[in-house]
Amino acid sequence: MDFDLTSDQLAIRAAIEDVCRAFDDEYWRRKDAAGGFPEDFYAAVAGAGWLGIAMPVEYGGAGLGISEAALMMETISASGAGMSGASAVHMNVFGLHPVVVHGTPEQKARWLPPIISGQNKACFGVTEPNTGLNTLKLKTRAVKQGDRYVVHGQKIWISTAQVAHKILLLARTTPLEEVAKPTHGLSLFYTGLDRSRIEVREIEKLGRKAVDSNQLFIDGLEIPAGDLIGEEGRGFEYILHGMNPERVLLAAEAVGLGRAALRKAAAYAGERIVFDRPIGKNQGVQHPLAERWVELEAATLLYQKAAWLYDQGRPCGAEANAAKFLCAEAGFHACETAVLTHGGMGYAKEYDVERYLRESMLPRIAPISPQLILCFIAEKVLGLPKSY
């Protein structure tokens, strides 16, 4: 059992740190204040060839695993870019996995290279305002008319839709009352985000202002039949292939955010003099910071195990969900402790930790609530009755 990163993984981390070095704390403060997608950061990551880290080599990707992708996302977040930097590239890294697994050779050749090169940005259109996490009750309808589907409906909390060129869209093609199982009748499409048919309204939110979140109003969007992924009615099955990698990547990003906060807090504690001594000399300051390090280390091991299981083709649902839960909590606690360590200055934007704390709420909430994760583990791991 070897817990060391490989030489290739160490090289990946060093290369990502080099890319991130050009985007310092002041850059991310400006983005947090003014908003606007971090195009130059996105272009730098794409230009260095990292958007395709887990994509097939034959389409321009690196062909590496989720373990390497998670390491990359942790490194981006830990650089101080936090969730703003990680979310700018998150969808490109994992989002088209259903295409990789279920797309035709023609679809892969048409869709993957522009995502890998950074030419296209994509958003993920699943969540709806009136269904929340109950994905099987989605109301957005796609009705086939000749050689195309016509879509009407709404989506919410859709990241990067302000700047996206494409959308991975889940819609119901067969009414719920007409299917044998509620998991049937949902279809997955990857198509152009036609702004003449999709109204995109940005949602003002707590943090991560640089990466927009939106509500979409879809009115008569026409999708060519060739943009259907796999078989009609099996879309829910297909998006399951992307859920575990997404949880692992988000877990890694939460750990990275916690590490950035802990680094800032430890430095401040070593420099801040009160009563003629650095506050970091006091165990009341030391111990919470040390506990946060322990939590982040434990959380890291769990997300790495989940990523390893996924890359080995083994079941990893429990581990991926547990990693998302534990890493989100560890990241949040580290950010909270960092603010408290700074005292009043923790409330000041110039020290960055208040931004980290605001962003740390995101991994706790999305893409699945901690309560549903616990329900999943209770049912699937502990064998308890389904509670919802």
CATH number, domain at 281? 1.20.140.10
Q: Rounded to the nearest 10 degrees, what angle do helices 235-271 and 283-311 cross at? A: 150
* Contact (Cβ atoms closer than 8 angstroms) between residue 302 and residue 247: no
Q: What is the pLDDT of residues 211-227, one digit of tens each?
A: 999 999 999 999 999 99
The tally of domains found in the chain comes to: 3
**326 plus 223 within the same structural domain:** no
| Mean pLDDT along residues 346-366 | 97
270/344 same-domain check: yes
DSSP H/E element including 274: strand 273-274
* Residue 358 included in any domain: yes
Does 364 share its domain with 300?
Answer: yes
For β-strands 213-224 and 277-278, DSSP reports them as: unpaired
Confidence class for position 285, pLDDT limits 50, 70, 90 = very high
Are residue 107 and residue 149 in the same domain, yes or no? no
For residues 328 and 372, give the distance between their C-alpha atoms in angstroms, rounded to a whole number. 14
Please check whether residues 175 and 71 belong to one and the same domain.
Answer: no
In the chain, the amino acid numbered 34 is A
Owning domain of residue 257: 237-380
Mean pLDDT of 127-152: 93
- For residue 69 the two structure tokens come to 């992708």
Asked if the structure places residue 1 within a domain, the reply is no
**Given the DSSP bridges, would you call strands 122-125 and 148-159 parallel, antiparallel or unpaired?**
unpaired
Which of 61, 88, 117 is at the close of a domain?
A: 117
Task: Tell me the residue type at 242.
Answer: G
pLDDT of residue 225: 97
Q: Compute the average pLDDT of residues 182-203.
A: 97
Same domain, 313 and 351: yes
Same domain, 245 and 376: yes
346 backbone dihedrals φ, ψ, rounded to 5°: -65, -20
**Does 263 lie in the same domain as 223?**
no
What value does the mean pLDDT take over residues 231-249? 92
168 and 227 co-located in one domain: yes
The rounded percent of the chain whose pLDDT value lies above 90 is 94
Domain-terminating residue out of 70, 93, 117: 117
Measured distance CA(372)–CA(163) in Å, rounded: 31
Residue 9's alpha-carbon distances to 51, 68, 69, 75, 236, in angstroms, are: 16, 7, 10, 11, 33
Q: pLDDT band at 361, cuts 50/70/90?
A: very high
* Mean pLDDT computed over 261-280: 98
What pLDDT digit, counting tens, does each position of 25-72 carry? 999 999 999 999 999 999 999 999 999 999 999 999 999 999 999 999
Over residues 173-193, the mean pLDDT reads 95
- pLDDT reported for residue 135: 85
Is the predicted pLDDT of residue 241 greater than 80, yes or no? no
The reported pLDDT for the residue numbered 345 is 98
Q: What is the pLDDT of residue 248?
A: 97
pLDDT digits (tens, 9 = 90+) for 90-138: 988 888 989 999 999 999 999 999 999 999 999 999 999 988 778 888 9
Q: Do 204 and 246 lie in a common domain?
A: no
Q: Are strands 277-278 and 273-274 parallel, antiparallel or unpaired?
A: antiparallel
User: What is the predicted pLDDT for the residue at 94?
Assistant: 82
Which segments of 156-282 does DSSP mark as H helices, in order? 235-271
Contacts of 149-153 with CB under 8 Å at 24 or more apart are 149/173, 149/187, 149/189, 149/222, 149/223, 149/225, 149/228, 150/220, 150/221, 150/222, 150/223, 151/218, 151/220, 151/221, 151/222, 151/223, 152/218, 152/219, 152/220, 152/221, 153/128, 153/218
In a domain, 89, yes or no: yes
| Cβ atoms of 330 and 254 closer than 8 Å | yes
Is 258 part of any domain? Answer: yes
Same domain, yes or no, for 248 and 374? yes
Q: Are residues 141 and 247 in the same domain?
A: no
Residue 387, domain member (yes or no): no
CATH assignment of the domain containing 92: 1.10.540.10
Task: Check if the beta carbon of residue 213 is closer than 8 Å to that of residue 359.
Answer: no
pLDDT at 262: 98
Residue 372 Ramachandran class (φ > 0 left, ψ -120 to 50 alpha, else beta): alpha
Whole-angstrom distance, CA of residue 89 vs CA of residue 85: 7
| Residue ending a domain, choose from 202, 232, 262 | 232
Q: What is the pLDDT of residue 154?
A: 97
Mean pLDDT computed over every residue of the chain: 96
**Cα 245 versus chain centre, distance:** 9
Take residue 73 and report the two structure tokens written for it: 């996302």
Q: How many other C-beta atoms lie within 10 A of the C-beta of residue 204?
A: 8
CATH (domain of 190): 2.40.110.10
Tell me whether residue 388 is in a domain.
no
pLDDT above 80 (res 385)? yes
Alpha-carbon gap, residue 117 to 280, rounded angstroms? 45
- pLDDT, residue 175, reads 94
Q: DSSP class of residue 344?
A: G
